[in-house]
Structure 1
Amino acid sequence: MAVQPEGTPCWADAMFSDFEGAKRFYGDVLGWTFGESTSEYGHYTQAYADGKAVAAVVPPMPGQEGQSAWCLYFAAEDAAATARRIREEGGEVLMEPMKVGDFGTMALARDPSGAVFGLWQAGTHEGFEATGVPGAYCWAEVFTREPEKSDVFFPAVFPYQVKQIQDEAIDFRVFELGGTPVLGRMKMTDDFPPEVPSYVNVYFTVDDCDAAVERAKGHGGILRFGPMDSPFGRFAALSDPQGAHFSVIDGTTAQGRMPDMTVV
């Protein structure tokens, strides 16, 4: 795939203390296979769906052990310039832009509401080799208790257009690039335990949502929500055995009318 426009979700990875356990879990739930890893890059290991790179897993460096979480990376034409905008708009740069061999340049940041995300300035590694197919990334949403902060921050950092779903039951926005939806923003309700911070929820495509949920539960995963039918497909929210939240969706089973949206 070609280098994506600024602000496009382009890669996802996660750190797991039980590295081999994570490979077994996602290998069965999402059908991933895994590439070789070397100590030169901390045993960073790419995951593949049908031979295409779709994510990566990595064991923690000494002293970095903790609860696992998926990190979504947004494409940046100039990671240093994007990092400056993040600071200017009230965000926090957790890791300064760092060149990773000839693969590209990465940075880690946190939005003003507390959601952690990454930046990726592509080199030889351009990002996802496939999206929207079984096992691959397809969508993401910023879950936050302070939507007013995220709503100002993300369109200021990235060239997003913004739409609001007209539904009194939920507070949900969509960020678009050139008319294409690339990211959602969901206000967290009281259904979320108070200890769960703001985070970016990553969706992976599956060919059968219910079967994927059963596989996840069989490997120690926790069902958080669903499975539920929607105009976008049948989906469910899960946590893996090491605490990383993610969702699965089968987009071929969409039901119901698409929600009305207004430009903000």
Structure 2
Amino acid sequence: MDLKLKGLRAILASGSRSIGRITAELLAAEGADVAISGRNQAEVDEAVAAIKARGVRGHGGTVELTDAAAYRAWVQQAADALGGCDIFVSFASAGGPPASEDSWKAAFDVDLMGTWRGIDAAMPFLERSECGSIVVIGTTVAIEPAFGPQPYAAMKAAIVHHAAALAQKLAPQGIRVNTVSPGPIFVEGGAWDKIRQGRREIYDATAAKIPAGRLGTGEEVARAIAFLASPTSGFITGTNIVLDGGMSRRVQF
């Protein structure tokens, strides 16, 4: 299937590693120009090189997403480098540490406000696009608690709600907003890789709860993001695609 991404311009916040990096390379392979941010210059440089190797324009920079002014400046720089922005995806997350004063603040500032800041900064460019698309990243624990109360899940739930409301507001402007909510996803060097190595019993117990019999892959999540971001899904907005191998039990009416 041709996703019709060739020549489109995608800005990915926190796209230098893990699922963000995989998504960046997939979009580039489909012909999109891609800008990514990260916190580690070496990782950013490596990712940009991989993007450019696909024969498209690549741009990268290091930025702290909790610094509102710096974040906005980076989005502006990325859009200038690509000649605009048709797709914005935010992978911003503080992770899922146990609840504490600090972890609640971090989840609010990175997951929720980081997503909002990026979208707000990208809006002037998306408004000039003929196929503007925003994809935010949720999680299955935001819609069906699985690991107890945690700020990560609560802030992701807020993001899912905000994305749905934003989709209603922006649809008349031709800008689509959708959410991708992964369940347990295995990426080499990622959180579930570390759990597999350090707490194998938790990894095996989680895999056993998934009807598909395994954890998902970063490539599977990236493909869902690319589809929703692409003009191929031009009549889809306000949806939340869950990728969890059947782990969540809710009926999605």
Bin for the TM-score computed over the shorter chain: 0.3 to 0.5
TM-score by length of 1: 0.34
Higher-strand-fraction structure? 1
TM-score by length of 2: 0.35
